[in-house]
Structure 1
């Protein structure tokens, strides 16, 4: 599964991320994007984001749209 590009991710979207400590197991955490931290258009391990909960990780999949989208 290829992680989505930066253009597909924006604040307010619900996404699944893998946090640094969960990389060996691949455990996903679901949350709402608060901020994009990776500036490049793509990254082989996923675009790094901060969730509204404060957790930081790399996006593996976009789950849902925000209310405005």
Structure 2
């Protein structure tokens, strides 16, 4: 999953996000979703979330632990 649809993202999910300061480099930060900050059902650059450690960014990928 690419993290662009709100229905695919929920609290407790492990995701890779791109922080605002890392948008140019594309560096990913891994964490657990605490809450969703984007209210739209879809966002072309990824749903904005707050991680449990307080960092905020857009979901680049959902970590598949299967």
Which consecutive aligned stretches of 4+ in structure 1 deviate over 4 angstroms post-superposition?
Answer: none
Q: TM-score, normalised by structure 2?
A: 0.90
The answer to whether the 8 Å contact 2:4/2:45 transfers is: no
Match of 1:16 in 2: 16
Match of 1:33 in 2: 33
Aligned-partner SS, 1:21 = helix
Q: TM-score, normalised by structure 1?
A: 0.87
What RMSD in Å do the two structures reach over aligned CA positions? Answer: 1.7
The CA deviation at 1:3 is 3.7
- Mind listing any 5+ residue stretches in structure 2 that lack a counterpart? none
Total equivalences in the alignment = 65
Equivalent residue runs for 1:1-69 within 5 Å: 2-64=2-64
- Mind listing any 5+ residue stretches in structure 1 that lack a counterpart? none
For 1:3 and 1:60, locate their aligned partners in 2 and report how far apart those are by CA, in whole Å.
6
For 2:62 and 2:24, locate their aligned partners in 1 and report how far apart those are by CA, in whole Å.
21
